[in-house]
Copies of this chain bind each other. A is one copy, B any other.
Amino acid sequence: MNDSTPANRTELSALGEFGLIKHLTQAFINEQPSTIKGIGDDAAVIDYGEKVTLVSTDLLVEGVHFDLSYMPLRHLGYKCAAVNFSDIVAMNGKPRQLFVGISVSNRFPVEALEEIYEGIRLACKRYHVDLAGGDTTSSLHGLFLSLTVTGEAEKQDVVYRNTAKENDLICVSGDLGSAYMGLLLLEREKKVYQADPAMQPDLAGYDYILERQLKPEPRTDILELLKSAGVKPTAMIDVSDGLASEILHICEDSGLGCRIYEDKIPLDAMTIAAAEEFNIQPVTAAMNGGEDYELLFTINMNDFEKVKGLEGISIIGHTTEANAGVFMASNNGPLIKIEALGWNHMRDVE
């Protein structure tokens, strides 16, 4: 989608700053009793009573974190919101309020911002999150998105990264690497299109991996599943930078090593097929691709029976003492040292 696609083009300056915010946020309806005051004052007022407040922020930059040539603006809005919700979910909390800052150059008409906000609204609606504040300003170049989400949790329910114990089981939800294969596919079709604009993108049959890239979902359902099984993870993180990076976070922060097993890493059939097409190892997509937004967590070994039959959860290894190092047992035998090769947005730009 191109940012000048909308047939009606309203210049940003036509509405003024306050008018623009009002215009963009009028379709949002607050539904959380904890939102005492949302948009329209110096600060939002949020009441979690006896509970703790979780806060997570994210900054997304055009050309660094997203590419508008294949990311429709509505999907961009949805994804930004969903990804932030996922950070709260990764603390075993419930996302409740969202704050959105958007900075755009005047190359974008109001309709482009409307599309982004519509995507955000859909994500808010799906996960029952209230838009509670934010900022819209101009920029000299490009599109910047800044999101802050607040969430709630009972104090004793919060799960950190650094609290895994030795001999815990390492689990992951869903499947991994699919979002990265979706990205490779979109980048390939972009190049084909750039070489010959008459070519139509060939995306048929790739729905699942495209959806994983364009419309990730926070795994609130996994939290519910674990809760109803009576299991509280000992440590948890969401998979934003790739399995390798996230496992290293949990192990390093908890002062542990680990063994994971390549053949236990959950991969979707389409991910495997696409990886073959692109001539890469599917496990590489899982380990270093990122953006799956699945939950990586550790559980006490005593909870094995409760977890082993749960649909959508794979046990992929176990923690060890720190000296044993962080390793993956590969399918063909040797142990491979896990190193973070995930997204590094500081190194992406020349």
Question: Closest approach, in angstroms, between the C-beta of A127 and any C-beta of chain B?
Answer: 15
- Closest B residue to A44 by CB, please name it: B55
User: Most chain-B Cβ atoms within 10 A of its Cβ — which of A41, A54, A141?
Assistant: A41
Q: Is A5 an interface residue (CB 8 A)?
A: no
Question: Closest approach, in angstroms, between the C-beta of A238 and any C-beta of chain B?
Answer: 6
Is A40 in contact with B253, judged by CB distance below 8 angstroms? yes
Stretch from A69-77, A87-95, A225-233, A268-276 at the B interface: A87-95
- Closest B residue to A65 by CB, please name it: B137
Is B138 in contact with A55, judged by CB distance below 8 angstroms? no
Query: A136: which B residues are within 8 A, CB to CB?
Result: 346
Question: Closest approach, in angstroms, between the C-beta of A53 and any C-beta of chain B?
Answer: 4
Query: A48: which B residues are within 8 A, CB to CB?
Result: 48, 53
Q: Quick one: CB contact mask for A85-121 with B, threshold 8 Å, 1 for yes?
A: 0111011010001010111011000000000000000
Q: Is A305 an interface residue (CB 8 A)?
A: no
Q: Is A63 an interface residue (CB 8 A)?
A: yes
Known: A144-B59, A347-B16. A43 touches B54 (CB 8 A): yes
Query: A12: which B residues are within 8 A, CB to CB?
Result: 346
Known: A106-B350, A160-B41. A54 touches B46 (CB 8 A): yes
Query: A348: which B residues are within 8 A, CB to CB?
Result: 138
How far is B326's CA from A84's CA once the two chains are assembled, in angstroms?
41
Q: Quick one: CB contact mask for A21-59 with B, threshold 8 Å, 1 for yes?
A: 000000000000000110011111111111011111111
Question: Closest approach, in angstroms, between the C-beta of A245 and any C-beta of chain B?
Answer: 9
- Closest B residue to A102 by CB, please name it: B59
How far is B14's CA from A344's CA once the two chains are assembled, in angstroms?
12
Is A141 in contact with B144, judged by CB distance below 8 angstroms? no
Please report which residues of chain A, range 170-228, place their CB below 8 angstroms from some CB of chain B when the two chains form the complex: none
Q: Is A345 an interface residue (CB 8 A)?
A: yes
Known: A106-B350, A135-B58. A53 touches B64 (CB 8 A): no
Q: Is A148 an interface residue (CB 8 A)?
A: yes
User: Most chain-B Cβ atoms within 10 A of its Cβ — which of A16, A43, A158, A344?
Assistant: A43
Query: A61: which B residues are within 8 A, CB to CB?
Result: 103, 137-140, 144
How far is B105's CA from A50's CA once the two chains are assembled, in angstroms?
42
10 residue pairs, one from A and one from B, having the closest CB atoms = A146-B146, A59-B101, A43-B56, A141-B141, A42-B90, A42-B87, A138-B349, A43-B54, A148-B148, A137-B345
20 new A-B contacts, CB < 8 A, other than A43-B151, A55-B150, A148-B148, are: A16-B347, A36-B158, A41-B237, A42-B86, A42-B87, A42-B88, A43-B88, A44-B54, A45-B153, A46-B54, A46-B55, A47-B155, A55-B97, A55-B133, A57-B133, A58-B101, A106-B349, A138-B348, A139-B144, A140-B142
Interface residues of A (CB under 8 A from B): 12-13, 15-17, 20, 36-37, 40-50, 52-65, 86-88, 90-91, 93, 97, 99, 101-103, 105-106, 132-142, 144, 146, 148-151, 153, 155, 158, 160-162, 237-238, 253, 344-350
Q: List 24 A-B contacts (CB under 8 A).
A: A15-B346, A37-B160, A40-B161, A43-B54, A43-B87, A43-B90, A43-B93, A43-B149, A44-B56, A45-B52, A45-B54, A46-B55, A57-B133, A57-B148, A59-B135, A61-B103, A64-B103, A64-B138, A64-B140, A106-B349, A136-B346, A139-B349, A144-B144, A144-B146
